[in-house]
Structure 1
Amino acid sequence: MQPDWYPAWREEAFEQLTAKNARLAKDFRLGSWSHYDYDLTAGKLLFSDQSGVKVVSEIQIAGSTSAKAGNWLWAWANSNWPSEFTTDAQSARSFGQKHGIGELTQDYVKDDDLNALGWELTSAVTRICKACGAYRSPPDDGVGLYLILKTISWAS
């Protein structure tokens, strides 16, 4: 269930996110830091090396993939996440409801390529909410967490 324009729109969103993330990799060396932590009390993602925190980003949670379950779970459908950090995902859900896009309104979305699905759905959230980029935590036990980067800056 989706309008005819949605596949091209989602592909454009993915291309836009790819460009945004490439800029973040260049400007903030995302992808090269030895360590990351997310702090859901503060709503921040912190990138660091052995000398300390170097880059700070305000975040929202888009959703997660599970190899065991074989699906994507939207952040708004996961009661484990604080609601204040799922508002962008909720905006994507509202967009999906307005335009009749099933994958944005279903709690779970199944696909054979969960990594691609995760990035595609995260790119939709990034586009809808005009975020500056996104980050996926390295999969842990087959679970990938997809985060929306709202702001990003060098640590002071």
Structure 2
Amino acid sequence: MHALIAESFDYLQAQQDSFMATYRIGEHKRWDWYQETGQLIFSNDGKPAVECAVDFVGTFSSHSDTWMWAWANESFLELVKARSRAVRELGESLDFLKLACATWSADPVDGWEMTAVMARQLGAIGSYRAPSERGFLYMVVREARWVS
């Protein structure tokens, strides 16, 4: 399973470098995500700059030190969590419990590892981690475009 994670990390790193540079992700003043549309929007001074189509991977809770897959999270809409089931199926086929179990003891690095596996599985072009008061939400980016 270490090879799967290592290969997935290599895949995501290459994609992420291109995504960050192409869309200047670190330079925008604000970001917002919307479950209802499955979008992550980067904006400046109230004007959208980059629009991304995203899938939620899962969440890391800093209160309980646990990971929860998006497919298991009842507060997420089907639109943003449906594709995470592909990773669950992969985990079941490989007998890799971290991919197949809904929740488990984790740290933020585990979140990035699971994000990398899902990114590679779905052919994502990048990823994003959004902080919350209880931890982090991890997502993969399927496509992105500049908003003119």
1:16 maps onto 2:8 in alignment = no
1 CA distance for matches of 2:39 and 2:102?
Answer: 25
- CA drift of 1:32 comes to 2.1
Q: SS of the counterpart of 1:31?
A: helix
Q: Which amino acid aligns with 1:146?
A: Y
TM-score normalised to structure 2 length: 0.95
Q: Residues 28-39 of structure 1 correspond to what in structure 2 (within 5 A)?
A: 28-39=23-34
Q: Residues 94-133 of structure 1 correspond to what in structure 2 (within 5 A)?
A: 94-111=89-106, 114-133=107-126
Q: Which amino acid aligns with 1:37?
A: D
1:135 maps onto 2:144 in alignment = no
1 CA distance for matches of 2:89 and 2:83?
Answer: 10
- CA drift of 1:51 comes to 5.0
- CA drift of 1:39 comes to 1.3
Q: Which amino acid aligns with 2:86?
A: S
- The share of aligned pairs that are identical, in percent, is 26
Assess if the C-alpha contact under 8 Å between 2:36 and 2:79 holds in 1: no
User: Matched residue pairs, number?
Assistant: 148
Quick one: which of 27, 48, 52 aligns to 1:53? Answer: 48
Q: Where does residue 69 of structure 1 map in the other structure?
A: 64
Any stretches of 5+ residues in structure 1 without a counterpart? 1-5
1:146 maps onto 2:138 in alignment = yes
1 CA distance for matches of 2:39 and 2:74?
Answer: 19
Q: SS of the counterpart of 2:25?
A: coil
2 CA distance for matches of 1:78 and 1:58?
Answer: 19
- CA drift of 1:130 comes to 0.9
Q: Which amino acid aligns with 1:20?
A: Q
Q: Where does residue 155 of structure 1 map in the other structure?
A: 147
* CA RMSD in angstroms, aligned pairs only: 1.1
Q: Where does residue 3 of structure 1 map in the other structure?
A: none
2 CA distance for matches of 1:146 and 1:153?
Answer: 20
- CA drift of 1:22 comes to 1.1
Q: Which amino acid aligns with 1:13?
A: S
Q: SS of the counterpart of 2:132?
A: coil
1 CA distance for matches of 2:46 and 2:64?
Answer: 38
- CA drift of 1:15 comes to 1.7
